[in-house]
Chain A
Amino acid sequence: MTQHREVGPIVWSIVIAVTCLLLFALRSVLWLVVPCLLALIIYYGLRPAYKRLLLAGLGEQAAASVVIIGFALGSGLLLAGATPWMSARAESWQDAVTRYLSGGIDWLQGTLALLEAKFTLIRRLGLSATLSRELDQLTDEHAQAYGASLVVGLGTWVPALLLAPFLAFFFLRDGQAFERLLGRAVPNAYFERSLNLLHELDETAHAYFQGLLKLTVLDALALGLGLWLLGLSGAWLLGLLAAVLAWVPYVGSIVGCVIVVLVAATDFPKDPGIAYGAIALFIFVRLLDDFVFMPATIGRSLRVHPIASVLMLFVGGAIAGVAGLMLVLPLLGIALVVGETVGLVVTDPRLRARHAHARRLRALHASRDLA
């Protein structure tokens, strides 16, 4: 049970400032932040299995090793199973990307042409011609550069992602010892409240990341089912991909939607209705997320007003880009719990008096044979 506490404007300001400072500081190690986030997701996902193994009699090292090796094997098998399927469907990545991009562009041009045929205002704006011109220019001048930077970016991030299971192993093995180490640093007078703080931090992070996993499963199922009903190839895989992309607030959902529309437009070039259906499905699942899934999963973990969340998402995106979008809400939740509790502990006169009393006792104890 969490004690309800009122947060004043000063604490809120400090919490927001600290969150922004943390984001700013983390900008220089963004390559490490995303693996850390993934490691936390893996850690909270695997912790129940780890605890069961501890109860079965394994030591921390052995239990963490078994769980992480199991996870790595499972992921490896999944990847090994998916690779032939994926390579059978796409001649090469470059061809597939080109095919889906041109399918999407054709669909977009077709839609604009349809709109121009129906609405005079749109025809006068000449959107279709402008789009064609811009796309040609983009393809000619920038495609090579963007493609190269994408490949370089992936080359930098993929090895960093391999850190995630490695970090998760240490989180599992040493998490409890680390908590005890932090606890030992706290004076007796503040101990019980601080212990509560640590517990709440853990609970906040646990609820957030487990909520995120549940949300991903729900999103993947809802999108997969919808896309399967629409008749798209690889509907469940696309649903899963879009659900994982949604970990990046707003931007991720849009990217996921664009990918699905590209696939729908390419697979059904003669039937643009399928792509419109995919967009409608995304909007429907987004609404489900906002009003049903999120309040039932992630929403419970962060006691932050929705307006504050949205504003902080913009701030996070402005400070640290995509990683900032992913990081800002967990950081805000953690800073809020720390701010609340530190404010309560430091400003409690009784706890301060008890701490002073304990220090006097320790000083006397240390000097009792010196007189």
Chain B
Amino acid sequence: MLPGFVRRDPPAVRWKYLARVTLFEGLNPRELRVLDGLLHERSYLKDEIIFDEGEEGQAIYIILTGKVAICRQGRRDDGHIAQYGPGDFFGDLALLDNSPRIAQARAVEDSRLAVFFRGDFVGLLETHSTLSSKLSLTLARLIGKRLREATLALTAYKERGEGA
């Protein structure tokens, strides 16, 4: 154990938010502090665009406050895909590769987001193997869950089509 005068606890406010994020489940306070040091905080007003469809993804976004809609570019009314709130994250595929964003992200209300950059994640893989393997595992689980949900939705959609 390290003596108290050299140990630094994570800032209380951000700690509260980070601990709630599903992607960071299973991380201990020290790991959360390392991660906290890598996050950038941004404020977006309602209707401000966070990223565009087709743009090269560089970072994952974690919602601290507010709401964000994911929709097809230029189809704001009928192209709605998902809406996320505090504790959720989006743009997660950008952590894995630099493929283009598959949809547009737009703030539905005034929002504060924490941004985790892919380069920092790659850096973590080299310097903090335990932390990055926990993150990778959680990310793989969450992507797997979303894939299962998408497969189920597609199957249901096909069945409805065949039934009609």
**Please, how many angstroms separate the alpha-carbon atoms of A180 and B56 in the complex?**
21
Q: What are the interface flags for A193-205 relative to B under an 8 Å C-beta threshold, 1 for contact and 0 otherwise? A: 1011001101100
Whether A3 contacts B98 in the complex (CB less than 8 A), given A192-B51, A358-B48, A361-B45, comes out as yes
The answer on a CB contact under 8 Å between B45 and A195 is no
Size bracket of the A interface:
35 or more
Is B48 touching A203 in the complex (CB atoms < 8 A)? no
Chain A 46-71 near chain B by CB (<8 Å), digits 1 or 0: 00100110111111101000000000
Q: What chain A residues lie within 8 Å of B120 (beta carbons)?
A: 199
Interface string of A331-361 (1 = CB under 8 A from B): 0000000000000000000100010011001
Q: Are B8 and A58 in contact (CB under 8 A)?
A: yes
A362/B56 in contact, CB under 8 A: no
Total B residues in contact with A, Cβ cutoff 8 Å:
34
Q: In whole angstroms, how far apart are the Cα atoms of A55 and B32 in the complex?
A: 9
CB–CB A192/B7 < 8 A: no
Chain B CB within 10 A, most for which of A56, A183, A202, A361: A361
Across the interface, do A52 and B127 meet the contact criterion of CB distance under 8 Å? yes
**Contacting pair A55 B42 (CB below 8 A):** no
Q: Does A137 contact B (CB under 8 A)?
A: no
Q: Which of A147-197 contact B (CB under 8 A)?
A: 176, 180, 183-184, 188-189, 191-193, 195-196
Give A60 Cβ to nearest chain B Cβ, in Å: 7
Assuming the contacts A55-B31, A361-B48, asked whether A199 and B6 have C-beta atoms less than 8 A apart, the reply is: no
9-residue interface stretch from B33-41, B62-70, B150-158: B33-41
**Chain B 1-35 interface 0/1 with A at a Cβ cutoff of 8 Å (1 = within):** 01000111000000000000000000000110110
Nearest-neighbour CB distance to chain B for A52, whole angstroms, equals: 7
Question: Does A365 count as interface, using CB distance less than 8 angstroms?
Answer: yes
**Nearest-Cβ distance from residue A171 to partner chain B, whole angstroms:** 15
In the complex formed, the residue of A with least CB distance to B6 is A62
Chain A nearest CB from B78 CB (Å) reads 21
Q: Select A195's contact among B46, B47, B117, B128, beta carbons within 8 Å.
A: B117
Set of chain A residues within 8 Å of B71, measured between Cβ atoms:
none
A1 interfacial contact with B, CB 8 Å? yes
- In the complex, the chain A residue whose C-beta lies closest to that of B1 is A57
B116-132, CB under 8 A of A: which get 1 and which 0? Answer: 01011000000110010
A195→B115 contact, CB < 8 A: yes
Bound-state Cα–Cα, A196 to B119, Å: 8
> A48-B127, A62-B6, A192-B51 are known contacts. Are A1 and B42 too (CB-CB below 8 A)?
no
> Quick one: given A1-B98, A191-B115, are A183 and B48 in contact (CB under 8 Å)?
no
User: In the complex, what distance in Å separates the CA atom of A67 from the CA atom of B92?
Assistant: 34
B48 close to A357 (CB less than 8 A): yes
Determine which of B7, B48, B52 lies in contact with A350 in the assembled complex, contact meaning CB atoms within 8 Å.
B52
The listed residue (B2, B52, B115, B127) touching A56 by CB distance below 8 A is B2
Q: Which of chain B's residues have a CB closer than 8 A to the CB of A180? A: 40
Is B7 within 8 A of A59, CB to CB?
A: yes
A60 to B44, CA, bound (A): 30
CA distance A57 to B7 in the complex (A): 6
Asked if B49 contacts A357 (CB within 8 A), the reply is: yes
Query: Closest CB of chain A to B5's CB: distance in Å?
Result: 8
Which chain A residue shows the least CB distance to B91? A192
Q: Answer whether residue B97 sits at the interface, using C-beta atoms and an 8 A cutoff.
A: yes
Query: What is the distance, in angstroms, from B4's C-beta to the closest C-beta of chain A?
Result: 10
Q: Report the separation of the CA atoms of residues A199 and B115 in the bound assembly, to the nearest whole angstrom.
A: 14
Contacts of A3 in B (CB 8 A): 56, 98
- The answer to whether B49 touches A51 (Cβ under 8 A) is no
Q: What residues on A are CB-neighbors of B55 within 8 Å?
A: 192
Tell me the complex Cα distance, A199–B2, Å: 32
Give A172 Cβ to nearest chain B Cβ, in Å.
Answer: 12
Query: Considering the complex, which residues of chain B in the window 81-120 have a beta carbon less than 8 Å from any beta carbon of chain A?
Result: 97-98, 115, 117, 119-120
In chain B, what residue has the closest Cβ to A51?
B127
Q: Which residue of B lies closest to A189 (CB)?
A: B49
Rounded to whole angstroms, the CA-CA distance of A362 and B107 in the bound complex is: 13
Contact with A192, one of B44, B59, B128 (Cβ below 8 angstroms):
B59
In the assembled complex, how far is the CB of residue B105 from the closest CB belonging to chain A, in whole angstroms? 11
Which residues on A sit within 8 Å (CB–CB) of B47? 361
Residues in B whose Cβ lies below 8 Å from that of A195 = 40, 58-59, 115, 117
Contact pick for A358, options B31, B40, B45, CB 8 Å:
B45
Q: A57-B7, A357-B48, A357-B49 are in contact. List 9 more A-B contacts (CB 8 A).
A: A54-B33, A55-B34, A55-B127, A189-B49, A192-B59, A195-B58, A195-B59, A354-B52, A361-B45
Cβ contacts A to B, 8 pairs, < 8 Å: A55-B30, A59-B6, A60-B8, A176-B38, A192-B55, A192-B59, A195-B117, A203-B119
